[in-house]
Amino acid sequence: MDAREEIQNLRREVIEHRTNAEYFCARTLMVLDLADERVRHAEAEAAERRLNIRTEEEVAQQLGCSVDTVKRVRQKHGIPHTLAGIRIRYTDEQFRALLKAMEKPVQLKAVKSKAS
């Protein structure tokens, strides 16, 4: 049952019991609670859908490197990016692709032990 149907059912109940003021107040509060819950749910969904967009300067700052380094990696590896006018921006997914391109495999050096 969707919110509209629930509200219609609550309205019918209120009309049937309209002489009982206490019941009317209780049901009205329930309707308000239902509406508040729906709004909170919609706001939470909207927050999940928002994009976190970074400039090249912000990306460089987060990675602790220069803007030129970010540009070189983007160009060398063909990292996807978004153009806002003439400025380059990175979504979270594009930022992760850039990070992956900048990864360097760790090479462990064998430690020589001195025999006594």
End-to-end CA distance of the chain: 80
The answer on 45 and 60 residing in a single domain is no
Q: Are residues 26 and 58 in the same domain?
A: no
Q: What is the pLDDT of residue 106?
A: 65
Pairing of strands 82-84, 54-55: unpaired
> Residue 115 falls within a domain, yes or no?
no
Distance CA 60, CA 62 (A): 5
On whether both 33 and 59 belong to a single domain, the answer is no
Q: Which of 12, 14, 6, 15 is nearest to 37 (CA)?
A: 6
Tally of domains in the chain: 2
Domain range enclosing 60? 54-102
Q: Are residues 45 and 59 in the same domain?
A: no
Answer whether residue 94 is part of any domain: yes
**Mean of the pLDDT values across residues 54-61?**
92
Q: What is the pLDDT of residue 21?
A: 73
Instruction: Decide: 88 and 82 in contact? Cβ < 8 Å.
Output: yes
pLDDT tens by residue, 76-90: 989 999 888 888 999
